[in-house]
Amino acid sequence: MAMSDEVKAGYKSKAKRYKPKKTFKESFIPQRGDKPSEIISKLIVFLSVAALLVCAVVLSVYFYHLFEARQNHANIKVIYKKASDSATGDENSLPDSLIEPGAERKPLVLLPAALTMQELNLNYAGFVEIPNCVSEAVVQYEDNDFYLDHNIYDQKRSCGTVFADFRNIVNDYENSDNIILYGHNQKDGTMFGQLDYYKFNPKYWLTNPYIYFDTLYSEDVYVIIASFITNTEPEHDNGYVFDYHNFINFKDEGDYTYDRFMTEITERSQIITGIDVNSGDKFLTLSTCSYEWEPSRHVLVARKLREGETTQNIDTSGFNVNTNPKWPAIYYKYNGGSYSG
């Protein structure tokens, strides 16, 4: 039976209405015959998907590196503790110091833990610890750049490693007057990420006033005498920068004297410890990033315990919070107030 013209028209209409579905390639990749608007739309979709994939890879690497850093942090602590606990009294004895010019000295003897740690990295220079706050291996290199973004295994990592200033003498018979350690302020609390306790809660000092720093040859204890925030750019303090990191060996005159160092850190410190200090003391300085303004630094300064001093006989009763520490000018600009020294 012949179809009427109306029925034929209906079939043709349905044929037009039900076009075959486009493939993925036809839908998202420009094809010959596409209109300019279709090509632009497909390119936008393609680039958006590519950007998402790149972001996913970057984030995956970032979080993996964070996980890896925490694992390395935990493993290094275990390795160091086991090596330290294995030490005997004879192995851990310290060499005699030079008594008078020209006197013969005993050879420096590596601590057992140092031997173990140098197997991991020949640039290993010590281990710094503040109980429940900092517990990190310390390295030292020929510059102050490499370990900003390399871990203790010398892999390229943004977390870096705690390192001593390359100008410091850290492991000799007579070390620098002021050993300076740098470390990132990691948000996960590793490295120097928990030093913020000293600035947000100055009375934290009463719980943890000591820094333990084991070098290759000696196990030394320091008592913290100052905690302050400072600038690194001259424009943040009317053209002035307190370059604490250049006070390595005190000079008899000029910019880097012991007296100027003590004046600067005492005026700036948020804590008043009451611990006595003199020009014959040795110091340890911990430096990390701070976030009051960009860029700023949080600095802890500690003095080495003298012969006869222990953590049991240091008098901490003179502690007070400094109600008027000296800040850079940028602080007063945004927070008001002024320094009345």
Q: Is 254 left (phi over 0), alpha (psi -120 to 50) or beta?
A: left
Specify the 3-state DSSP secondary structure of 200.
helix
Fold classification of 108-335 (topology level): Sortase; Chain: A; (2.40.260)
Which pLDDT does position 182 carry in this prediction? 98
Mean pLDDT of 203-224: 97
Question: Is the pLDDT reported for residue 100 higher than 80?
Answer: no
Model confidence pLDDT, tens digit, residues 6-62: 555 555 555 555 556 666 556 666 667 777 777 677 677 777 777 777 777 666 665
Helix 36-85 vs helix 112-120: angle between axes, to the nearest 10 degrees?
Answer: 160
> How far, rounded to the nearest angstrom, does the alpha carbon of residue 151 sit from its chain's CA centroid?
11
- CA max distance for the chain: 127
Alpha-carbon distance 261 to 340, whole Å? Answer: 19
Which pLDDT does position 25 carry in this prediction? 56
Q: What angle do CA 326, 327, 332 make, to 5 degrees?
A: 120
DSSP 226-249: EEEEEESSGGGTTT----GGG-SS
Amino acid identity of residue 10, one-letter, is G
Strand-pair category, 178-182 with 296-304: unpaired
Model confidence pLDDT, tens digit, residues 140-168: 999 999 999 999 999 999 999 999 999 99
Model confidence pLDDT, tens digit, residues 243-258: 999 999 999 999 999 9
Top-confidence residue, 278 or 187 = 278
Which pTM value belongs to this model? Answer: 0.81
